[in-house]
Each structure stands twice: as C-alpha cells, then as structure tokens.
Structure 1
Amino acid sequence: MLTLHHLEKSRSQRVLWLLEALQLPYALKCYQRDPKTLLAPAELKAVHPLGKSPVLVDGDLVVAESAAILEYLLDQYGQGRFRPQDAGALQQYRYWLHYAEGSLMPLLVMKLVFGRIPQGPMPFFVRPLARSLMAKVQALFLAPQLKNHLDYIEGQLQGRDWFAGPGAGDFSAADIQMSFPLEAAASRTDLDAYPNIRAFIARCRRDPHYQQALEKGGPLLL
C-alpha cells in the first residue's frame, strides 16, 4: 500500500494530484505546521531524517523529493501515462520537472522569507533597518530575477497549453510539478502581464484530479 506523508499547504499537493490522476489506492497521513514557525512537525523525522514533506512510502521503500516521487510513481504505476514518449518532448519534460524546484521555487521561497523578516520578533529600533534591507533585496535582486524567469516561462507557453510535447493536449507530470511554483508566483507577484501563465494555472485548477487533491489535502499555499 502506498502511503503519502502530506504536510498542509506544501509541495506535497503535487504528489496528491498525481496519485489521484493515476487513480491509485493510497493512504494519506496529514501533518499540520507549527503555528508559530510554520515548519513541519518533528514527527515527520520518524519518516525521513530531514523531516520534510512530501514523503512517499511504498512497502519498505521511502522516497522523498517531489520530482523523485513523481518519477517513481510513473516508473512503477504510470503504464506510460503522464510522461511524453517523443524524445524531444521527453527532454522538455525532464527539464521542466527539475526547473520547478531547481530554478524557480528558490526565488519564490526567498521572496516569502524576506517579506516576513520585518514582521518577525526583533527590537523595535532594528525594525526600520530590517525593512529597508529587505526592501532593497526584493527590489534589486528578487524582483528582476523573478521577472526574468516569468518572462521566460511566458514565452515557453506561447501557443501551447502544457510544458512538454508539441501538442496542445500533452499534459504530463511536468505540468503537475510546475503548477506549485506558478501558484506561488500568482499569490506573491502580479501576473497581469503574463496571460499564458495565468491561463496555465486556470487549466490546472479545472482538472478534476487537481480539485480532488485539494479536497483531500487542504489549501495549497501558506
């Protein structure tokens, strides 16, 4: 029996989506974040030493990291679904599967963290300095970097519905993987200038298996 160890409002939602799309039987063990730190609870370390989510358990095998879990599920249970067969499309699939966490998500995490630092506990006389420093980081580094990435993604989605494959209907696990950072971008950045990204997010949200994952796993973002 597959067991997904799922942290609320986290990347784990993507694994839930693929499990629903593959229509696999699985057990779901949900964890709540610490209300003060927003970190995962300590009991997740009993599942994986890093204490992070998602973690998938299949018999004696423990698999961590979103992309690795998606690939494992497709290798073992996919039966050719949600992964391109064309060589060129397969290369694009692999690229976006790893780009999501390797390139895009770190910037969004930094944006979230640097945006929260001035609201954290600190001596009152330090707060103006913290706000000034964090605003400079956002304006001089994060905003230009995010714009560069969002411009790139917008161009890659021009004329296509999904990230991998030459056809409009070539939905794959790469789209599942890309959905979370783009949802995060939508919540933390103005996407008015990015109609292709907004359309991609809307297509993801209309997927019935996406909706089922939300019903079981709870809200997507912090």
Structure 2
Amino acid sequence: MLTVHHLGISQSERIVWLCEELGIEYDYKRYNRREDNRLAPDEYKALHPMGIAPVIQDGDLVLGESGAICEYIDRKYGGGKLSLTPDHADFADHLFWLHFTNGTFMTNGMMQLMLSMADAKNPMPAGFVAERTSKAWQMVEARLGEAEFFGGSQLTLADIMMVYCLTTARMFREGTLDEYPNTAAYLQRIGAREAYQRAWEKAEPGTPPNLT
C-alpha cells in the first residue's frame, strides 16, 4: 500500500493533492513541525537520507523529491492521467512548467529566504535573486493569461507542482498577488476543485489555503 508522509506546511501537500486528484487509495500520516525551530521532527527526518519533505513509501521503496514522487504515482497508480504524451499539443509546455517549478521557481524563493536571514553586506546577491524572482513571477502571470492551466488546456503534474509555490510557500515570506491578476484567478479555479479541497483539509485542517 502506498503511504504518503506529510509534513505540515510543506511541499508534501502536493502529494496529498495528487492522490486525491487521481482518486487512488493510500495511507496517510501527518507530522507536525517542531515548536522550537519549525523544522521537521526527528521521526520525519529518519524516513529518508535527505530528511526533508515529501517522502512516500510503497512496499520496500522509500522515495523523496516532489517531481519524482509525482511522476512515480501518476504512472504507477494513475495510468498517466496527469501527464501528457509527446503527441499532445501541450506536451512541451507541460514538461517546461513541471521542471521549472523546483528547478527555477522554488530555487529563487529559497535563495530569497536565505538572503533575508543572512547578514549580507554585499548587495549584489540580493539584487541578482530579486531580478530572477521577478522574471519568474512575470512568466507565471503571462502563462496563466494565455492558458487555463500551466500544462495547457487540462490539469497536469505541472499544476500539482506549481500550486504550492504560489500558495503555501508564500507563508514563509512577504508578498501578495495584487500585481498578478491572472495568477489570482487561477488559484481561485484550483481552490474550487473538490480534490484540492479534500487534500487541503487533510494536509492543513482548520487552516484556510493561501489562495489570495
């Protein structure tokens, strides 16, 4: 049986949402962050050598890394429902946004977060990261002005990956969607999905999703 280990307020919410979208059976275990430093508890860190979320177990397999987990579950349990084949018109866009998520967008956000916590006297790194981050958000806004979903005309793994960056990840740093109306409208569409609502209630019960 597939087991999803979810760390509260973390990227592993993606995996809960994916399983709900696919309508598959899975065991679910939720872990609270530590009170003293807001990091994962030792019990969660022991699941995988990296000690970070997300992590799944499937029999003897223990797998980390959001993108790998999403592709694994979609192919093994979802029949590739949320992936596009090479003959699909949106195939390239689906691939781009699927990998842009953690390859660029999340990386920019993590660099910003680390710089904000560091006592850096050299302004160059902050300016470099700010420019990269601004460009990435502009790309997101432009994409959601031309397509209903990141992958094109239908929900794909690209959306499963990107939504966390646009919602929960913003809890860790300042920022609104005032300048990004297309993104805001997209998140309202996502928030209206029954599978997303079920997943969020499991992942963060009693906490409203950061959709605005």
Q: Same fold (TM over 0.5)?
A: yes
2:148 counterpart of 1:161 = yes
Q: Equivalent residue for 2:162?
A: 178
SS at match of 2:90: helix
1:133 Cα deviation from its structure 2 partner? 4.2
Shift of 1:36: 2.3
SS of equivalent to 1:97: helix
Deviation by residue 1:148-203 (Cα, 9 ceiling, x = unmatched): 111112112223110113x3xx1112111110111134863232221111111111
Please name the residue that 1:194 is paired with.
Answer: 180
Give the share of equivalent positions with the same residue, in percent: 37
Post-superposition offset of 1:37: 1.8
Deviation sequence 1:95-145 (CA, Å, 0-9, x none): 211110110012212333333x27xxxxxxxxxxx4x849x4786233322
Structure 1 residue 91: Cα displacement: 2.3
Instruction: Please give the residue correspondences for 1:13-162 in structure 2 after superposition, counting only pairs within 5 Å.
Output: 13-85=13-85, 86-115=87-116, 117=117, 130=119, 133=121, 136=123, 140-162=127-149
Letter in 1 for 2:195: H
More displaced stretch, 203-212 vs 179-188: 179-188
Distance 1:27 1:56 in 2: 10
CA contact (8 A) 1:53 1:64 kept: yes
**Farther off after superposition, 143-152 or 62-71:** 143-152
Alignment RMSD: 2.3
Structure with more of its chain in helix, by fraction? 1
Tell me how far 1:53 sits from its aligned partner: 1.3
Structure 2, gaps ≥5 residues long: none
Letter in 1 for 2:37: T
SS of structure 1 residue aligned to 2:29:
strand
What is the CA–CA distance in structure 1 between the aligned matches of 2:27 and 2:175, rounded to whole Å?
35
Q: How many residues align?
A: 204
Q: How does 1:204-219 map to 2 (within 5 A)?
A: 204-218=190-204, 219=207
Moved over 6 A (4+): none
Structure label with greater radius of gyration: 1
The question of whether the paired residues in 2 share the 8 Å contact of 1:43 and 1:51 is answered with: no
- Code of the aligned partner of 1:217: A
Q: With structure 2 as the length reference, what TM-score do the two structures score?
A: 0.86
2:4/2:29 contact within 8 Å kept: yes
Q: 1:139 to 1:50 in 2, by over 3 A?
A: closer
